[in-house]
């Protein structure tokens, strides 16, 4: 029985950041498992084993690019990417469904949002899967904190 190759090498010597081939925006390295989980079936057929980066530039259609020049766009994904969507109802927490709209509704009704507390509790209980569900492959808490502050019109994000 032959061993299955490890396609998700977290110890890759590739740089942690690279410029997007379209905009030059600095992209951050994303684990292959994240890219594979978010690609549509037909797009996954183009996936190659290499290092991928996430492009955060809102005006760029590229979401993932590789060190080889391969690109995956918004149309290649199973989900939306909040950084690429217009403000208003962007999904911020891909594990528990917290969006700008849910936060705005809660702020309007109560003057505060408990979205951060809800997500922190899920994280504490080991329920999050940000490494797979979030297109950036990282925890959403910083993005969620910033969105709450922005929507509440405060300079300082809540803890």
List, in order, residues 6 or more apart from 23 with CB less than 8 Å away. Answer: 55, 57, 59, 60, 62
- Is 12 a residue whose pLDDT tops 50? yes
What is the pTM for the complete model shown?
Answer: 0.85
The number of folded domains in the chain is: 2
Q: For residue 124, what pLDDT is reported?
A: 96
In a domain, 103, yes or no: yes
Q: For residue 138, what pLDDT is reported?
A: 95
Q: For residue 3, what pLDDT is reported?
A: 40
Q: Are residues 97 and 53 in the same domain?
A: no
Which tokens belong to 2?
Answer: 């032959």
Residue range 105-133, pLDDT digits in tens: 999 999 999 999 999 999 999 999 999 99
Q: Are residues 44 and 66 in the same domain?
A: yes
Strands (E), the chain: 17-19, 26-30, 52-54, 62-66, 71-73
């Amino acid at each position: 029985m032959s061993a299955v190759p490890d396609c998700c090498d977290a110890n890759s010597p590739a740089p942690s950041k690279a410029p997007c081939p379209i905009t030059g925006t600095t992209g951050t390295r994303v684990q292959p498992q994240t890219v594979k989980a978010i690609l549509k079936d037909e797009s996954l057929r183009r996936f190659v084993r290499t290092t991928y980066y996430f492009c955060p530039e809102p005006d760029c259609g590229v979401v993932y690019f590789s060190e080889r020049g391969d690109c995956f766009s918004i149309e290649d994904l199973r989900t939306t990417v909040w950084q690429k969507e217009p403000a208003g109802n962007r999904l911020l927490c891909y594990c528990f469904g917290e969006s700008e709209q849910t936060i705005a509704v809660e702020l309007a009704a109560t003057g505060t949002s408990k979205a951060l507390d809800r997500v922190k509790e899920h994280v504490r209980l080991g329920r999050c899967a940000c490494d797979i569900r979030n297109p950036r492959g990282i925890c959403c808490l910083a993005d969620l904190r910033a969105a709450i502050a922005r929507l509440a019109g405060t300079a300082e994000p809540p803890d």
